[in-house]
Structure 1
Amino acid sequence: MSRTKYGFAAPPDALRDLRELPHPVRDLALLQLQTLVHGDLGATRLQGALEGFHKVYVGPELPYRMVVQFRDAPPGSAYPREVFLVTAGPRQRYVVYRDTQLRLGRHNPVDEPYPDPADLAHARSPHALRAMNNASGTAPQHPTAPPSAVPPRKAAL
């Protein structure tokens, strides 16, 4: 590895995120941070509500991300710039990105949580509707066909 290029900083929430990652994922995340601080790893720039921040993939095939910011180091630091860890967590359902926005006090309605796909499927299921109706003691309401404006045809004999 090369000589350290950046300082490192993280608030207590971000350190808690790291501690809560599954053990093998946490080890990979720490290695990624070390490589990032040495300047040997690039990070992907984020856009939109997280403009100015970068995402770091934790492992090539793992669904975990870290959100960092490259910023000027505080006065008196041994480094002119630092890597500031904002969040670390699962990418699934954009959890890590929403947590980042909450910590930064930003709101992006586009990134509102999506309902769980299983909940959506259950909500549309006719079996679930029947079970709910039976539990409430009401009969399911079936739409009736509107009366036809044209009288029915008689069969030709």
Structure 2
Amino acid sequence: MKSARFGFAAHPEALEDLRSVPDKIRDLALLELQHLVHGNERGARMHRELAGCHKVYVDPQTRWRMVIQFRPAPPSSQHPREIFLVAVGERYDNTVYRTAADRLRRQATTGAPDQRAEAARSRSPHMRTADAQPPQALAPTAATAPAAQRRSRS
């Protein structure tokens, strides 16, 4: 498997966008993000208030879009640059672009990085690395055991 070329981070509201779109669109968006992180595509450059951003078409009908930025990754990252997901939504009436512009405007006025954005950048504790040992299997407790096992203990 090809290694990632970029890190990944997301505006916390963009993660909510992903949760709220239809399942098929979410799957396509995640696939596009995978392509972006691996450096297989870049999206189209945007202008005016979204200068510095790129738009990425999510579905074949180009009804759904993502707005992303390529930006320097934090010093703790394995990668010098990262993909930052700003917004996911419909193209209709420029909704996704207005949402992205509003988020970037709010982020610029606060000046400080959002702690939730930092959390969105962090790695999952469940993610395995090449040199990590496999987790030990834990014996199920009464609270985590399947319902059938809990009934048989009673």
Gaps of 5+ in 2: 107-154
Residue 97 of structure 1: CA displacement?
Answer: 0.3
The TM-score, its normalising length taken from structure 1, stands at 0.65
Residue 77 of structure 1: CA displacement?
Answer: 0.6
* Alignment-derived partner of residue 81 in structure 1: 81
Amino acid paired to 2:83 = V
Residue 104 of structure 1: CA displacement?
Answer: 1.5
Higher relative contact order (CA 8 A, sep 6+): 2
Q: Distance in 2 between matches of 1:51 and 1:11?
A: 17
Amino acid paired to 2:22 = P
* Alignment-derived partner of residue 54 in structure 2: 54
* Alignment-derived partner of residue 140 in structure 2: none
- Aligned length in residues: 106
SS at 1:70 equivalent: strand
Identity rate, percent: 54
Q: Is the 8 A contact 1:2 1:40 kept in 2?
A: no
* Alignment-derived partner of residue 28 in structure 2: 28
Amino acid paired to 1:25 = I
Q: Distance in 2 between matches of 1:19 and 1:4?
A: 23
Residue 50 of structure 1: CA displacement?
Answer: 0.6
* Alignment-derived partner of residue 11 in structure 2: 11
The TM-score, its normalising length taken from structure 2, stands at 0.66
Larger Rg: 1
Residue 76 of structure 1: CA displacement?
Answer: 1.5
**1:64 is aligned to 2:64:** yes
Residue 25 of structure 1: CA displacement?
Answer: 0.5
* Alignment-derived partner of residue 97 in structure 1: 97
The alignment yields a C-alpha RMSD, in angstroms, of 1.2
Gaps of 5+ in 1: 107-157
Q: Distance in 2 between matches of 1:73 and 1:5?
A: 12
Q: Distance in 2 between matches of 1:103 and 1:42?
A: 21
Cα deviation code 1:133-156 (max 9, x no counterpart): xxxxxxxxxxxxxxxxxxxxxxxx
